[in-house]
Amino acid sequence: MKLKSITADTNQGPLLNINEDNFHQNIEEGLYMVMDGFGGSGIGDVATKKLQENINHFFANITADINATLPFFYSAKYLLESNALINSMLSSNEKLYSENMTKEFSQRAGASAVLVSTSDTILNIINVGNCRAYLIRDSSIHKIFSEDSFNFLSSDTNQSHLKSIPLNAFGLYPDLSYQVKEVRFQEGDKFIFMTDGAYSNIREEEIKNQFINENLSSKKRIEKVFELVNKRGNLDNQTCMLLEF
């Protein structure tokens, strides 16, 4: 079974003049990323692009050589693609953290991310920080990760953007904390990856309803989510990627 379509969009949001969010699609390598950078203009936006370039380059080199050494990490419980992606992340985090340590605090950058690689009928999904990943299957929505943020401090369904501040991210610490899921996909599955500006003011049921609406194109579904979140006071950049099988 193959990936039928990929749709992604990113927007600076209604308030900010710079977009520190970004997404990346490498169909040939089966590698996809959604990132939420921080640090400010010319800092966070630059960091997300560098991270994506570094991860993409490292990942392509490892997967091109089945005998390649995994220099940072290996676990037998994960597929080769997951191990390759983890190594790519750890290498890129090391570079960004080292760069940050040479700069004043106000000039340091970081990023949350959802990173995805494909292998046969498995989607390898890794989450760092406050991004979210959902699976819509048989008209039900499933949250794949609990994001690493202050989200747990509030019992409100619609979270303030302040509650989604990441507790961990690329560039913050020498040891990168991440969550890994290997999900066997089925025909009809929809995987949705979002930065906090796209999910903070919307309920999961509302996300589901938008993405199962057959009267809308995939691009329009994402636009409708952005519009709804912005009407409820979103102040952040927003990015969303949809993979449909």
Please say whether the beta carbons of 136 and 192 come within 8 A.
yes
The C-alpha atoms of residue 178 and residue 126 are separated, in whole angstroms, by 7
Instruction: Spell 101-130 as b/e; 16+ CB within 10 A means b.
Output: eeeeeeebbbbbbbbbbbeeeebbbbbbbb
Check residue 71 and give its pLDDT: 85
- Percent of the chain residues topping a pLDDT of 70: 93
CATH of domain 5-244: 3.60.40.10
139-160 pLDDT, tens digit per residue, is 999 999 988 876 655 555 554 5
Whether the pLDDT of residue 92 is over 60: the answer is: yes
92 phi and psi, to 5 degrees? -70, -35
Whether the pLDDT of residue 161 is over 90: the answer is: no
Check residue 154 and give its pLDDT: 54
